[in-house]
């Protein structure tokens, strides 16, 4: 064990001299198979020439091929910022497309004896240009004006968006009220790698801020900065790391969309009507086939395009969703912003243990509610339950024992039930499809007891635990009247305790 | 031990029926009939029998609306009834003779009488009580409702009064939460009392405000 070629137990070439004693702990040496591999630790290089510079010295190595260096980070808290310059050509282009479809294309046509025809005569081209060039200038001017009008900056704990060139209007948004931040990449903006930033706020008309459009990297930085400040951290905090939770494969999505009773029935109806039409030459069956096809497009193809590549990830900043084939959406819902969750199990899905998750987030309203209310289009039930336990921490929906509704109720089966623990209120109803609605006591807005005339005859009542408007309505239906009132009181008390315990934090990192 | 109705006896899990001080401690296991809560476990809790379901509880009494509230509704009904009766009677008399016109007027009078009765019932059904941490409102003639709104959840409280309401010296207090379904409004309060109630609610809401 001496000499220039054996400085260590393995030598400079990673070869252990055959006569050397085996290092302790690795077992007997295997002759002729090289050094024994350690069972743990980083993999060591088996061969390293002495002249090779170690990677930790010297300047950072450029990887092979051309990779653009990332631009220096933009500080949105310093100075005033504008939208990406490519917004101007994009808006002008969209305007010109509409112009061409409505007015420009007919200008190229000339009326002849054989109807409208395309003639490549110079006067036709001149006529087209005389109309088109002013339109193009107007479009460019309007797009330039629109770009010039919008300025934004992060000022302390507020996002300030200024609008207008001559008459200025500034909106100041306290970031503690942010409910969700979405990055949307419509198909049109892919050319310039642009991204739309939507900041959803709680309550009222115009409760969203839309910045249309930012560069891709700038949008992500803005989101990171807004989330960091909303969480109560310094604005230059890098984006929180995320932990992938579920990735929906295309096949699973398609299968789940088709594997539903109404969809299967519609498919059968479509093919039966098609075969009938071909066999008996009965054109009237088109009245059945076409609506069936339209229904299929709406129920299968539209969600398929919308939710393709659905990915759910958890991060300290909340739940992150990414999805979309043509229009990519990236949603971030910070902790405590999910008001209520619904676990939806259609009849066939229940048989194979699939489920869908819907959420109520206070910021989303109207059309955006429909676009953004799905938390998981389809996943195994246990994944859905795990995600629910992540959103309402420390809860297990399945562990909450549900009391069935009163036996006096008129119902198809005894599936209806409700239950509660100290953190959440759970209600379940529906047959053969079933949905389970969950609200955290800390998020309940009010508790209501209602008795409709039929229920009054039977001595029953329904208890509602109200959340902001959304797809999830939590209600314990058809309880006995006295029990219902007891539920109201206990729910109010639990909600109070949950709120006092600090069940909600506007700034989740503090 | 109260005897339950015909409901199947189910083991009661932590808390839906019985009502421990949250966070709830261990609960008695075993079958407990659904119905009134287990009064023996927590004797200090109010016991809710079916006929107590719309009482304010904890020794409180419902605060009632002003007697002027049903009269405001009645005057409103009458104000609507007169033009409806006149125009309808005119149209029917043109088309079907005097009998049609009279029938229409009779129908409108019947509707007005019903509205007057409902106004009285609505007045009797309304009640509100300010509890330690929440406001509790009950109302409803056909669908009975009981609404519990925590003070900390009120986003804002407003007082409105229409023309007739102002003339009669009453006003409506409305509580807004983030949930649109909450719909807690108290109509027909004397105007001075309404603004006092609003100020009290706003102050309590401010003290307990929780954000969204």
Q: Do A277 and A359 have their domain in common?
A: no
**A245 to A223, A326, A387: CA distances (angstroms):** 21, 23, 8
**A339 to A79, A390, A424, B212: CA distances (angstroms):** 35, 14, 11, 9
pLDDT value at residue A283: 79
Q: How many domains does chain A have?
A: 3
Residues 115-144 of B with CB under 8 A from A: 133-134, 140, 142-144
Residue pLDDT, tens place only, A475-485: 998 899 989 99
pLDDT value at residue A366: 63
Q: Do the beta carbons of residue A336 and residue A178 sit within 8 Å?
A: no
Helix (H) or strand (E) holding A383: helix A381-391
Q: Do A197 and A270 have their domain in common?
A: no
pLDDT value at residue A59: 52
The CATH code of the domain that includes B155 is 2.30.29
Give B71's pLDDT tier (boundaries 50, 70, 90).
very high
Neighbours of A173 (CB within 10 A): 19
Distance in Å, alpha carbon of A371 to nearest chain B alpha carbon: 20
pLDDT value at residue B100: 84
CB contacts, 8 Å: A176 with chain B: 211
Compute φ and ψ for B97, nearest 5 degrees: 85, -175
Domain extent, residue A271, equals 249-307
- pLDDT higher than threshold 60 for residue A382: yes
**B7 to A222, B19, B32: CA distances (angstroms):** 57, 20, 11
Residue B149 lies in a domain: yes
Q: What percent of chain A has pLDDT over 70?
A: 81
Average pLDDT of the residues of chain A = 82
Mean pLDDT of the A428-455 span = 91
Residue B195 lies in a domain: yes
Q: How many domains does chain B have?
A: 1
CA distance linking residue A485 with residue A489, whole number of Å: 6
Q: Do A352 and A448 have their domain in common?
A: yes
Alpha helix (H) residue ranges in A53-86 = none
Q: Which of A401, A451, A459 sits opposite B143 (nearest CB)?
A: A451
Residue B152 lies in a domain: yes
Residue pLDDT, tens place only, A167-187: 888 888 888 888 889 999 998
Residue A452 lies in a domain: yes
CA distance linking residue A328 with residue A314, whole number of Å: 19
Q: Do A391 and A270 have their domain in common?
A: no
Domain extent, residue B186, equals 128-208
Q: Do A477 and A357 have their domain in common?
A: yes
Q: Do A153 and A291 have their domain in common?
A: no
Q: Do A387 and A480 have their domain in common?
A: yes
Give B28's pLDDT tier (boundaries 50, 70, 90).
very low
Residue A40 lies in a domain: no
Whether A482 sits inside 8 A of B49 (CB atoms) is yes
Residue B45 lies in a domain: no
Q: Do the beta carbons of residue A61 and residue A55 sit within 8 Å?
A: yes
Distance in Å, alpha carbon of A453 to nearest chain B alpha carbon: 6
Give A501's pLDDT tier (boundaries 50, 70, 90).
confident
Q: Is the complex ipTM more than 0.85?
A: no
pLDDT value at residue B7: 36
**For A108-117, A148-157, A298-307, A446-455, which range has the lowest pLDDT when averaged over its residues?**
A108-117
Q: Which of B19, B24, B53 sits opposite A422 (nearest CB)?
A: B24
Q: Do A91 and A185 have their domain in common?
A: yes
Q: What is the pTM of this model?
A: 0.76
Q: Do A458 and A351 have their domain in common?
A: yes
Residue B185 lies in a domain: yes
Any B CB within 8 A of A400 CB: yes
Q: Do A134 and A205 have their domain in common?
A: yes
Residue B157 lies in a domain: yes
Token couple for A115 = 């109807």
């Amino acid at each position: 064990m001496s000499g220039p070629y054996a400085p260590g137990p393995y030598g400079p070439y990673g070869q252990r001299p055959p006569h050397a004693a085996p290092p302790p702990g690795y077992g007997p040496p295997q002759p002729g198979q090289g050094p024994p591999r350690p069972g743990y630790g980083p993999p060591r290089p088996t061969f390293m020439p002495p002249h090779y510079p170690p990677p930790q010295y010297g300047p950072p190595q450029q990887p092979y091929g051309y990779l653009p260096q990332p631009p220096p980070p933009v500080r949105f808290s310093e100075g005033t910022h504008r939208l990406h310059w490519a917004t101007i050509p994009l808006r002008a282009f969209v305007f010109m497309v509409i112009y061409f479809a409505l007015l420009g294309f007919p200008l190229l046509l000339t009326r002849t004896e054989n109807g409208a025809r395309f003639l490549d005569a110079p006067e036709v081209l001149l006529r087209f240009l005389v109309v088109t060039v002013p339109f193009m200038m107007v479009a460019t001017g309007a797009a330039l004006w629109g770009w010039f009008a919008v300025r934004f900056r992060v000022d302390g704990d507020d996002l300030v968006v200024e609008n207008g060139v001559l008459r200025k209007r500034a909106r100041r948004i306290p970031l503690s009220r942010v409910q969700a931040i979405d990055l949307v990449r419509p198909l049109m903006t892919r050319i310039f790698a642009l991204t739309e930033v939507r900041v959803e706020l709680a309550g009222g008309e115009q409760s969203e801020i839309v910045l249309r459009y930012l560069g891709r990297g700038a949008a992500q930085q803005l989101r990171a900065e807004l989330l960091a400040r909303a969480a109560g951290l310094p604005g230059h905090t890098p984006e929180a790391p995320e932990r992938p939770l579920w990735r929906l494969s295309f096949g699973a999505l398609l299968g789940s969309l088709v594997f539903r009773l109404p969809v299967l029935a519609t498919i059968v109806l479509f093919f039966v009507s098609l075969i009938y039409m071909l066999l008996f030459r009965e054109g009237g069956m088109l009245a059945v086939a076409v609506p069936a096809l339209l229904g299929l497009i709406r129920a299968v193809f539209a969600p398929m395009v919308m939710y393709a590549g659905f990915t759910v990830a958890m991060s300290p900043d909340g739940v992150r969703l990414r999805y979309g084939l043509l229009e990519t959406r990236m949603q971030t819902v910070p902790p405590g912003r999910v008001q209520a969750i619904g676990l939806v199990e259609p009849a066939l899905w229940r048989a194979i243990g699939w489920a869908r998750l819907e959420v109520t987030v206070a910021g989303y309203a109207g059309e955006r509610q429909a676009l953004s209310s799905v938390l998981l289009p389809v996943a195994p039930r246990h994944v859905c339950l795990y995600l629910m336990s992540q959103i309402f921490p420390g809860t297990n929906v399945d562990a909450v024992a549900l009391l069935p509704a009163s036996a006096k109720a008129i119902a198809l089966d005894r599936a209806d039930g409700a239950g509660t623990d100290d953190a959440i209120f759970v209600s379940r109803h529906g047959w053969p499809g079933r949905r389970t609605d969950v609200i955290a006591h800390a998020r309940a807005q009010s508790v209501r007891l209602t008795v409709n005339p039929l229920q009054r005859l039977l001595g029953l009542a329904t208890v509602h635990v109200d959340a902001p408007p959304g797809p999830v309505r939590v209600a314990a239906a058809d309880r006995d009247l006295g029990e219902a009132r007891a539920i109201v009181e206990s729910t109010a008390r639990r909600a109070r305790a949950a709120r006092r315990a600090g069940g909600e934090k506007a700034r989740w990192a503090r | 031990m109260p005897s339950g109705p015909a409901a199947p006896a189910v083991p009661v899990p932590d808390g839906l029926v019985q009502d421990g001080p949250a966070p709830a401690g261990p609960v008695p296991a075993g079958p407990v009939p659904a119905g009134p809560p287990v009064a023996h476990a927590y004797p200090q809790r109010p016991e809710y029998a079916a006929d107590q379901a719309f009482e304010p509880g904890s020794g409180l009494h419902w605060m009632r609306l002003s007697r002027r509230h049903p009269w405001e509704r009645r005057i409103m009904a009458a104000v609507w009834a007169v033009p409806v009766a006149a125009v309808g009677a005119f149209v029917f008399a043109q088309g079907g003779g005097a009998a049609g016109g009279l029938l229409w007027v009779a129908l409108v009078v019947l509707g007005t009488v019903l509205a007057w009765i409902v106004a009285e019932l609505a007045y009797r059904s309304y009640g509100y009580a300010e509890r330690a941490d929440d406001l509790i409102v009950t109302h409803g003639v056909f669908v009975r409702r009981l609404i519990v709104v925590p003070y900390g959840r009120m986003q804002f409280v407003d007082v409105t009064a229409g023309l007739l309401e102002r003339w009669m010296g009453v006003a409506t207090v409305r509580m807004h939460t983030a949930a649109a379904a909450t719909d807690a409004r108290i109509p027909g309060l004397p105007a001075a009392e309404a603004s006092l109630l609003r100020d009290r609610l706003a102050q309590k809401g401010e003290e307990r405000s929780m954000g969204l």
